[in-house]
A and B are shown apart, each in its own frame.
Chain A
């Protein structure tokens, strides 16, 4: 049973080492489960252990007879034994394509949800990586707090009265009357009970505070990092240096086995890049998507694009071998240069400076138009958003797109107060490297780094073979805005060997 407590502590430890993105904890995934195209939404509960609500939309399954059956199971990335039996996801009334199920997340960090769809077309499954961390704290207030306080008061008064009755009457023979001495004894017992109980309540309150403080320490924070401009390099570089002592110590053997090590598994490349770095000005006008190099996975150094001077934030997306992804952030002040609309790319690195906010159509070069097919409906927080974009030339004719780092498109969604930042793909919020690390995992991957080598090998092979593959001119991203507010979305596609960026503004209302 000691182990139960230890396990609880370990779970807390994993919480500290877990999570992805900023302010957008849910997982969205669109892909194939065998013959079926599915959209999977895993709602992150915000605390652990807790229940994660999972919904699965099986496209074009409404007319199927017999109806498709959907089941889901959840497992931890390093679970050695057999997974628990899958649970059936029930159809939602009025929406025959949609199926929902709730699964317990017992252990934080990198987990995966396996979705299986079976029907007339056969059956198929897909593994969706989902990272769970504690990210919110609930205050006890409002009617519940009032009601609990009231009940507590009644219980307090009740036990004090019972103590008084016990002391004054309980040892009397039935029918005997209570004399003055006994009455006094009863009052004394009530006073003692009040003091004892009040101390118990104070003690309980201190205990609660200690539990709360320990929980708050367990709320997820990504590794700390510091961004800076390296003037000594030619051309100039933007550096992001990880300062998390656990991570740095675990990269450096000289610290010895006694030092506090990070619980993170090694980093693996996503779309061939160890880090996807986004440099975004605080006024959201300037945006750059860069791919720094690193020789020690501590200092990441990227080519500095011609961005105007000003206040910026740097976002570094990294994926670990466990499938866990996180975004490292740091403020950055860029000197010099005034703001001018400009856009361009250098290899896979790209930048875009827009002056006028755009809502429906945008172009970062003089040849391509990216149009947001947003429809007339309002964007509502929490509801699947219609993020569909059509890419044409200036005359409106479809253009052929190329894969940009293995993907038809990349998008970055950011709230104007920087409380939400997420890097999306047409497949959703899941980094492809995380997906690969689950798909390629085998029971023999017991040594850290074994799996990451295989993932790395296939990742770079995939990136090079897909580079020239042609795809359609419509891209869409499965996503729901986590809360109401003003957002900016940057959509990036590749055409003619160059990266084209469109910037869009979105007003999201609360539901």
Chain B
């Protein structure tokens, strides 16, 4: 009896060392396709203008949703009905079904993306095609996209946590966090992307809200030695490759009025130098293990804003100089709808020094909250097992 009972009992003990890689790769692909599709689509609207539901960047987005939805849906169905107790016990239960937490978040994200389509369509009929990134239906879509990316990240971090020392899993997690960071930076690109904005309070407020949470959560949950640096480097690499590739693609504007006759895809601005605060974070964080998170958050938040300010205040003047007007830095490239003028080389939305200082206080507060949330999210992610 004992001899036969052992294998049965054994099969019911979850095999923590075993990881199915394909769902991690599938969701990582979906996550990457989302951000690449988004950056490509923005470039499409700035260069070509005319698009349909079936334009190539849109198809890439749809493909991402399909891959994420189907692969995670399969995971849930298999865990629930597949008869493999390990799969069931390795998942969390939602509405009677079982599946990895990341898969659930991906499924929810896919549903959000699908739901945003009729809403967005109605919005265009009601108010006209929104030529801006941030509108209510676009936010529903964006939260769907971000959810898929968060889901991919949670799946990767759960695998990393379960298995322990597996370099591949550590990098899959870092990649998923880097992709999410790229997404966040792209969503705020209208206010915090271009060099002309780098002396406006809005630039610092937007990065303070969005970036610390993305960087810190990854820095805390990753088992790499330089996690924030790795994540920021992945963000930079993704952005640079897309910027360099887009500039190679010839494309004419197809909508009127054309005020700026561009000849190739207009790339996104040069990535933010997030790698500098990331390096400092990686150096500082291991030395602050004993510091309470409530104290750590304002320190990191204020430090982050000051480093960003010191770096981008001067970096922007380089980006606006003739030295940056080349394929490498891709500066001074504008939409087909722009009437080019001296505003190209001017700082926008600047305010007097006193107003800037006052705005900075709010920025510190935003960065502190974002940092606190990031520390919390990192701690939570470090503990995710399923």
Residues of A within 8 A of B (CB): 1-5, 7-8, 11, 45, 47-50, 73-76, 78-85, 104, 106-107, 111, 134, 137-138, 140, 144, 147-148, 151-152, 154-155, 158-159, 161-162, 165-166, 168-175, 204, 207-208, 211-212, 215
Q: Let me know if B14 is at the binding interface, CB within 8 A.
A: yes
B334 lies within 8 A of chain A by Cβ: yes
The minimal Cβ–Cβ distance linking A131 to chain B, given in whole angstroms, is: 14
Q: List 11 A-B contacts (CB under 8 A).
A: A4-B46, A47-B126, A73-B256, A76-B256, A79-B256, A81-B259, A106-B257, A155-B112, A162-B104, A174-B90, A175-B89
For B49, the chain A residues whose CB sits under 8 A away are 84, 104, 106
Tell me whether A84 and B254 are in contact in the complex, defined as CB-CB below 8 angstroms, given that A3-B338, A148-B115 are known contacts.
yes
A155, B127: Cβ atoms closer than 8 Å:
no
CA distance A121 to B127 in the complex (A): 43
Q: Does chain A have a CB within 8 A of B299?
A: no
Report the minimal beta-carbon distance from A147 to chain B, rounded to whole angstroms.
7
Contacts of B115 in A (CB 8 A): 148, 151-152, 155
Q: Which residues of A contact B111 (CB under 8 A)?
A: 151, 154-155, 158
Given contacts A155-B112, A174-B90, contact A11 B255 (CB under 8 A): no
Contact A170 B92, beta carbon cutoff 8 Å: yes
- Residue in A83, A85, A104, A165 with the greatest tally of chain B CB atoms within 10 Å: A165
Task: Answer whether A171 and B338 are a contact pair too, CB < 8 Å, given A104-B255, A144-B118, A166-B101.
Answer: no
Do residues B101 and A170 form an inter-chain contact, with CB atoms below 8 A? Answer: yes
A81-B257, A106-B256 given; name 6 further pairs at CB < 8 Å. A4-B190, A7-B335, A106-B257, A165-B93, A170-B385, A171-B383
Closest to B115 in A: A151
Kindly supply a per-residue 1/0 record for chain B positions 91-107, scoring 1 wherever the CB is within 8 Å of any chain A CB and 0 otherwise: 01111000001001100
Q: Which of A45, A49, A79, A175 contacts B258 (CB 8 A)?
A: A79
A2 to B349: give the CA distance in the assembly, Å.
Answer: 10
B189 adjacent to A211 (CB under 8 Å): no
Contact of A174 among B132, B254, B349, B385 (CB under 8 A): B385
> Which secondary structure characterizes the binding site on chain B?
loop
Report the minimal beta-carbon distance from A145 to chain B, rounded to whole angstroms.
9
Complex Cα distance, B79 from A59, in Å, reads 67
8 Å CB contacts to A: which residues of B178-222? Answer: 189-191, 193-194, 196-197
Q: Give the total number of A-B pairs whose CB atoms are below 8 A apart.
A: 178
Residues of A within 8 A of B119 (CB): 148
**What are the residues of chain B within 8 A of A144 when measuring CB–CB?**
118, 122
For the complex of A and B, list the 9 residue pairs with the smallest distance between their C-beta atoms, beginning with the closest.
A79-B257, A174-B14, A76-B257, A138-B126, A47-B128, A165-B92, A171-B383, A174-B90, A175-B89
Assuming A84-B254, A175-B89, is B386 touching A5 (CB within 8 A)? no
Chain B residues with CB below 8 A from A49, complex form = 128-129, 131
Beta-carbon contact of B252 and A148 below 8 Å: no
Residues of B that sit less than 8 Å from A by CB? 12-14, 16, 46, 49-50, 86, 89-90, 92-95, 101, 104-105, 108, 111-112, 115, 118-119, 122, 124-133, 135-136, 139, 158, 162, 189-191, 193-194, 196-197, 252-261, 269, 334-335, 337-339, 348-349, 380, 383-386
Cα of A5 to Cα of B349 in the assembled complex, Å: 13
Closest to A107 in B: B257
A83 lies within 8 A of B256 (CB): yes
Also in contact, A174 and B92, with CB within 8 A (given A155-B108, A162-B104, A204-B136): no
Contact A174:B89 (CB < 8 A) given known A138-B122, A165-B94: yes
Q: Which residue of B lies closest to A169 (CB)?
A: B92
Cα-based distance from A170 to B193 in the complex (angstroms): 36
Instruction: Given A2-B191, A3-B335, verify A171-B256 contact (CB < 8 Å).
Output: no
Contact, CB under 8 Å: A111 / B256: yes
CB–CB B257/A175 < 8 A: no
Residue pair A161, B89 in contact (C-beta under 8 Å): no
A207 to B101, CA, bound (A): 31
> B258 — which chain A residues lie within 8 A by C-beta?
79, 81-84
Query: Smallest distance from the beta carbon of A160 to chain B beta carbons, Å?
Result: 10
Best-surrounded residue of A1, A106, A144, A175 (most CB of chain B within 10 A): A1
Cβ B254 vs Cβ A1 within 8 A? no
Beta-carbon contact of A84 and B385 below 8 Å: no
State whether A174 and B257 are in contact (beta carbons under 8 Å apart), knowing that A1-B269, A2-B190, A47-B127 are contacts in the complex. no
Most buried by B among A78, A84, A169, A207: A84
Chain B residues with Cβ below 8 Å from A76 are 256-257
Alpha-carbon gap, A75 to B93, bound state (A)? 57
- When distances are taken between beta carbons in the complex, the residues of chain B under 8 Å from A107 are 256-257, 337
Interfacial chain B residues near A165, Cβ < 8 Å: 92-94, 101, 104
CA distance A497 to B382 in the complex (A): 93
CB distance from A191 to the nearest CB of B (A): 17
Report Cα–Cα, A170/B129, bound state, in Å: 41
CA distance A107 to B336 in the complex (A): 13
A165 to B337, CA, bound (A): 48
Is A169 within 8 A of B386, CB to CB? yes
Min CB gap B246→A, angstroms:
15
B127 touches A211 (CB 8 A): yes
* Cα distance A73–B253 in the bound complex, in angstroms: 13
Q: Quick check: A5 and B95 within 8 Å, CB to CB? A: no
In the complex, which residue of chain A has the Cβ closest to the Cβ of B383?
Answer: A171
| Chain A contacts for B118, CB-based, 8 A | 144, 147-148
CA distance A79 to B130 in the complex (A): 21
Q: Is the CB of B50 within 8 A of A104?
A: yes
A81 to B260, CA, bound (A): 7
* Min distance, Cβ B11 to any Cβ of chain A, angstroms: 12
- Chain B residues with CB under 8 A of A4: 46, 131-133, 190, 335
Q: Which residue of A lies closest to B336 (CB)?
A: A81
- Chain B residues with CB below 8 A from A175, complex form: 12-14, 86, 89-90
**Cα of A416 to Cα of B52 in the assembled complex, Å:** 41
- The CA-CA distance from A171 to B191 in the complex, in Å, is 37
Nearest CB in chain B to that of A204: its residue: B136
User: In the complex, A145 Cα to B122 Cα: how many Å?
Assistant: 10
State the Cβ distance, A325 to closest chain B Cβ, in Å: 19
Bound complex: CA A81 to CA B259 (Å): 5
Q: Which of A83, A140, A169, A208 has the most CB of B within 10 A?
A: A169
In the bound complex, what is the Cα–Cα distance between A202 and B2 (angstroms)? 61
The distance in angstroms between the C-alpha atoms of A392 and B371, with both chains bound, is 86
Q: How far is the CB of A211 from chain B (nearest CB, A)?
A: 7
Given A1-B194, A81-B258, A106-B257, decide whether A162 and B101 contact each other with a Cβ distance below 8 A: yes
A50 / chain B contacts, CB cutoff of 8 Å: 124-125, 128-129
